[in-house]
Chain A
Amino acid sequence: MNIVTNNKWIGQRTIRPDGADKVTGRAAFAADTAMPGMIWGKIKRSPHPHASIKSIDTSKAEALPGVKAVITARDIVDFPIDKSVMLGIQDMRWMCRNVMAREKALFPGHPVAAVAATSEAIAAKACDLIEIAYEVLPWSIEIDDALKPDAPILHEFNRFEGQPSNIAGRIEVKKGDVAQGFKEADVIIERSFATRPVHQGYIEPHACLVSVAPDDKTTIWSSSQGQFMVRAMVAHLTGIPQSDIRAIPAEIGGGFGGKTIVYLEPLATLLAKKSGRPVKMVMTREEVMRATGPTSGSKSTVKIGARKDGTIVAAQGTFYLQAGALPGSPIRGAVGCSFSPYDIPNVLSVGYDVLSNRSKVAAYRAPGAPIGAFAVECVMDELAEALAMDPLELRLKNAARQGTKAAHGPVFPRIGYVETLEAAKAHPHYTAPLGKPQGKLQGRGVASGFWFNAGGESSAQVNVTEDGNVVVTTGHPDIGGSRAAIANICAELLGIDYRRVSVLIGDTATVGFSNLTGGSRVLFASAMVVTQSTEKIITTLRERAARIWEIDPEAVKWENGAAHPASPNAGQFEPLTLAELAAKAPAQGGPIGAGVQLNTEGAEGGFGTHICDVEVDVELGIVRVIRYTAVQDVGRAIHPGYVEGQMQGGVAQGIGWALNEEYIYNRDGKVDNPGFLDYRMPVCSDLPMLDTVMVEVPNPKHPQGVKGVGEVPLVPVMAAVANAVHNALGKRFYALPMSPPRVLAALDAKE
């Protein structure tokens, strides 16, 4: 079509549309909202890891002055436990039991009742007055305990191989014949690994404010990764039709996958309906740590066989992932992504979803893939050592390329994995000498990773204002700068300054259905609908100019923010700018705007290769990352600042996962470190600068070449750190985190 762009804004580090609000404290996050007459909701939580609920007496709580409503599972729509009702990838049987315990309390912190009162203090006091008779049951926390023959069964209906079991699911990816493949191998490395559950660690606790009018018209302000997900889940759990629910996305203070499901919203809705008052609920950090997220802990075994020349002939992986107390661990990511960077003729990858008495896991950045990559990429490192090959060379020799049939099914189109390996190999970091400081040992490791990326439903509305500027509304909560990238794209197509484009996130009543912010899908999908909307607008603008000039619309081109005659043959006319055409709009056909709704297709997977240097203090057992370079095929970096930011943020989370983060359970089956002091996420002084190399192999199925960038950068990190620690100490760690007590124990064992 007749649009000429000059690459002025794509790839520019523009100022984000929501930036000024966020550096001045104006931006409205969910906990910042308030309404006249608002009251406060609080949750009564189970103290037990596993207990039947015999009775709940709320009478004393209801009698407390200031208490306006009390709810239990009886107030929530029931989804029978043996009949699946899917909503997206979530099963409402589990969601309904996760937001409020039904037959049994399944983990410490599991909600059992909720109260709304005129103050937080009264609501908390009322929770203490609720009397619950529990029959405490045996429980299990760790995978090994949950899989023992005499393990307490969480859900009697659940069967595995015909028997009651805590295995809630099994998936398998198979290619070729692994038994035959391993026979052809000269070198086989087989190792077992363990990772601990880690929390997404968003700094903003879950929060919402809900108002329900007497006619059930419901307004929800909440922090989530999808206002349409909030609307649908609340509708399912309360029985209020979706058309009566308006879910407004507040600014979201971090999610990383952990806010792709609801915890508070349905409870606040029912409390608001019952009390007739707007209800606000905000979790404490302790509630976040005890009852939301995390991602799975895991046990896995990976076996890889290669010929002497380094050609990998077979690979096998078995991955057990903790689901928490209700099914749904991310086994697909572990099983499907782990071997995908490599062209291996024989692969068998199997995953098991394991129930135990922990909080139900939630998505966390490339769910499952980092767990699988930790095992596979550590084995790759050992294989390179056994073959006396450079670890990047081993990966290059076996790298997936265009035409490779991936273990998880698809035949890869043009992909950029090899480019990341070559960029890592050529990077000065890879050949820089390591230091030899006294009392410390330095080492270097590399690792790669893959994530599927995703498309799916997105909607956009693009409107030209009467003064000739532009307002874009999309339906995905902006979790890391997507509005800035959308502004760049719209400004590029229209040929106007990006500051003339306002980008907003619409609520469920003002923009068409848009799926979650997740899967690294937001810019891929929203760029598609914004591009098509903007192109429709440009078609309208060309038609308007053609009408004014009395020529054919095909003889009008759009360039530099104005309509021009497409060629000298079309006639001599002064360009008509966007502002001029907007001013003439009332007389020339009316308002200018366009909306597009799509189920987007064409998402392509992303690859990354990381180089990590560590320094180990052999006296204290402290591992410090002293240099880090993340290389990633990003498709196309629409806003490089926020692409780098995604890469750096993923690396920092991975370093925390590798070195320090873990839940510590006590003998009563409860988390002993439900706060930021003892659940040790990386702080500023723990980290070096995090270097990034953006390799751009554009996605041919996307108008701007976008692939998605947010999740890949977490996938390789734990293996890169572990391989560096091995290089430093000559000692391999097969279990995370490599925290000081474990490192010291390993060093002592060596001596």
Chain B
Amino acid sequence: MAKLHVSTTINGEPVEFLCEPNDTMLDALRGPLGLTGSKEGCSSGDCGACSITLDDRLVCSCLMLAAEAEGCRVGTIEGMAKGSKLHPLQQKFLEMAALQCGICTSGMLVASEALLKRNPDPSEEEVRFWLAGNLCRCTGYDKIVRAVLEAATEIRETAQ
């Protein structure tokens, strides 16, 4: 079967790529697009390590066909920092030791950014339920939740 041609926007850049009809978006990102920041932990949508945004909606890229990116805006971990300036979430994750091995970190950050865009002032419970689709086996989530709450505070204060 011939490959499909897909035109999309990734992290603000127009991008074209070829994929098999049954390739997932995660396959395309990690393969031809060379964006290996999104990780594959399960390929069943349970671990969230492959989290990306599709037109600002948080999705597991392992559950989405690559061809579905046609005409959409895709956001990945690689687009989170602005040049050499880290996003406040990235900075707080570092300052508060909210990562250990780092394999879930990309997905956690992408999911947390999507949360704070919808809800700039989440409660601890709202953070916990939003991130319930992102597995972390190292941290017990404590420092991740704290880092997200701290980053939210900082972003709100900066915006004022």
The CB with the most chain B CB atoms within 10 A, among A256, A650, A689, is that of: A689
Instruction: Tell which of A50-58, A438-446, A543-551, A677-685 binds the partner.
Output: A677-685
Interface residues of A in 196-219 (CB under 8 A from B): 200-205
Contact with B along A19-55 (1 / 0, CB 8 A): 1101111111101100000000000000000000000
Q: Mark A679-699, 1 if CB is under 8 A from B, else 0.
A: 001111111011000000000
Closest CB in chain B relative to A346 CB, distance in Å = 38
B24 near A: Cβ within 8 Å? no
Stretch at the interface among B2-10, B65-73, B127-135: B127-135
Are B37's CB and A285's CB within 8 A?
A: no
Q: Which residue in A16, A253, A645, A677 is a CB contact (below 8 Å) of B39?
A: A253
Contact present for B105 and A479 (CB under 8 Å):
no
Interface size class of A (residues with CB under 8 A): 35 or more
Contact, CB under 8 Å: A684 / B138: no
Inter-chain CA distance A645–B101, complex, in Å, is 11
Residue contact B78 to A24, C-beta cutoff 8 Å: yes
Kindly state whether residue B38 has any CB partner on chain A within 8 Å.
Answer: yes
Known contacts A15-B94, A285-B41, A683-B132: A648-B137 contact under CB 8 Å: no
Partner of B145, one of A13, A479, A689: A689
Q: In chain A, what residue has the closest Cβ to B95?
A: A15
Output the least CB separation between B121 and chain A (Å). Answer: 18
A203-B47, A252-B101, A685-B128 known; A29-B137 Cβ under 8 A? no
Number of A-B contacts (CB under 8 A): 176
Known: A201-B137, A203-B136, A675-B46. A24 touches B77 (CB 8 A): yes
In the complex, what residue of chain A is closest to B38 when comparing beta carbons? A25
Give chain A's interface secondary structure class: loop
Q: How large is the interface on B (under 10, 10 to 19, 20 to 34, 35 or more residues)?
A: 35 or more
Given A683-B132, A684-B131, decide whether A25 and B100 contact each other with a Cβ distance below 8 A.
no
Our pick among B77, B104, B139 for the contact of A648 (Cβ within 8 Å) is B139
Whether A152 sits at the interface, judged by CB under 8 Å, is no
The answer to whether A676 and B129 touch (CB under 8 A), given A13-B95, A24-B77, A202-B101, is no
**B40 contacts A205, C-beta separation under 8 Å:** yes
A480 at the B interface (CB under 8 A): yes
Is B144 on the interface with A (CB-CB < 8 A)? yes
The answer on a CB contact under 8 Å between A23 and B78 is no
CB proximity of A19 to chain B, nearest CB, Å: 4
Report A-chain residues with C-beta under 8 Å of the C-beta of B124.
Answer: 689
Question: CB within 8 Å of A: which of B102-145?
Answer: 102-106, 109, 124-125, 127-129, 131-145
Q: Is A377 an interface residue, CB under 8 A from the partner?
A: no
The answer to whether A203 touches B44, judged by C-beta atoms less than 8 angstroms apart, is no
Q: Could you list 22 A-B pairs, sorted by A, with CB under 8 Å? A: A13-B95, A15-B95, A19-B93, A23-B90, A23-B93, A23-B99, A24-B81, A25-B77, A27-B102, A203-B101, A203-B135, A251-B101, A254-B100, A254-B138, A285-B42, A285-B43, A645-B97, A649-B137, A650-B140, A652-B137, A684-B145, A687-B140
New A-B pairs, 15, CB < 8 Å, besides A23-B105, A285-B44, A685-B131: A23-B94, A24-B86, A26-B37, A27-B102, A251-B101, A252-B101, A253-B39, A254-B103, A284-B43, A644-B142, A645-B97, A676-B46, A682-B141, A689-B124, A690-B142
Pick the 6 closest A-B CB pairs, nearest first.
Answer: A25-B37, A253-B103, A641-B97, A652-B140, A22-B102, A648-B140
